[in-house]
Structure formats: C-alpha cells, structure tokens
Amino acid sequence: MKRIVRTSLFFIPVILFSAFSNMLSINPSVLDASGYVLEDDKKVEGAIVKLYQDNLIVDKLSTKKNGRFRFILFSNSEYMIEINKTNCVPERVYLSTKNAGDLADKYYFEFVVDLMKLKEFEGVDVSNLDFPTAIISYDADADEYVHDKMYSKSVRADLRRMKEEKDALNK
C-alpha cells in the first residue's frame, strides 16, 4: 500500500505540471498592437506595414486613409513591425512578448510612427535607422506594455545628430 501511495505522489505533480503546461499553450496572453502612420503630421494612406515574428514575415498590410494598422501578437515571441513608404526612411519598432502577463489576458499598446522623408537626409549617414526606433516590452510591475525610455532617448540623440549633420552640409 505504501508503494502505491508513493507512486501516486510522484505522478500527481507530473500530471498537474503537464496539464498546466498545456493550458499555457492553449491560452497565451495576447498583445493588441496598433498604431498610426503619419508624414508631416498627416495620416498616410498606402504605407506598407510588415509584421515579422522571429525574423519571418507573418503579416503585411497597406494603410488606408486613416493611416491605421493593427496586429494581434501572442506571448513568448519577438516581433518587429516595419513601416515603408516611397521616398521615406523605413521605420522599425521591436516588440517583445516574452515574460508577458497573466494567462488569457489581452493587453493593448498603441503608438504613432511619424515617417521622415529620405531627401531630408541626403548625404547623411542614416545607418542607425536600420535599427528599431522603439523597443516595446512587458513591464510586470505596471502589468502593461511600455516603451524603453532609455533606448528612445538614444534614438532621439541619433536623430538630432543626423539633423545637425544635414544642416552642416546645407551651409
């Protein structure tokens, strides 16, 4: 009888762990990521917005008159949203849903992408813009998705430097 009890005590945690793991894969938390594409403070129609998941394109859309885009992102992945429009600098936003919040919860994050014209940066090294202009990830303390303020500050510094470089070239 003791042997049956010990065996049962061993298998109960294994069964519970297995059941809980299955629940995780069935009901992941999701992030409703949406935004607007602007150029000169006007909503952009016809911008191409691509969604990459783990470096593979998984969705692609073209903005309508309202300039809006929207994607549903599942937990435990890395995403990149890339926005392209003719004669504009492509812009990228990195989103991590790793370490996301509560199971089966739905989170929201909305942002604006203000495209820059390529001609504004003629002769200027824009290679820093090959990297994301924003990083968005889950903040457990706030139980929400937030942008990385330190990273955004460094991007703004790069943009200022590029504008100063452009102004120096135009003198």
Tens digits of residue pLDDT in 62-75: 999 999 999 999 98
Rounded to an integer, what distance in angstroms lies between the CA atom of residue 97 and that of residue 75? 5
Closest to 82 (Cα-Cα) out of 67, 93, 74: 93
* Single-letter amino acid, residue 67: G
The per-residue pLDDT for 103 is: 60
Query: Residue 25: which H helix or E strand, with range?
Result: helix 2-26
Rounded to an integer, what distance in angstroms lies between the CA atom of residue 70 and that of residue 63? 10
From first to last of its 171 residues, the chain has per-residue pLDDT tens of 555 555 455 545 544 444 444 444 455 688 999 999 999 999 999 999 999 998 899 999 999 999 999 999 998 899 999 999 999 989 999 999 987 666 667 889 999 999 988 888 888 887 878 899 999 999 888 888 999 999 999 998 988 888 888 888 877
To the question of pTM greater than 0.85 for the whole model, the response is: no
Percentage of the chain beyond pLDDT 90 is 50
For 28-169, give the CATH class: mainly beta
> Angle CA(91)–CA(93)–CA(94) in degrees, nearest 5?
145
Q: Are 145 and 31 in contact (CB under 8 A)?
A: yes
| Two structure tokens written together for 68 | 């809006």
Listed by start position, the domains of the chain span: 28-169
The per-residue pLDDT for 88 is: 92
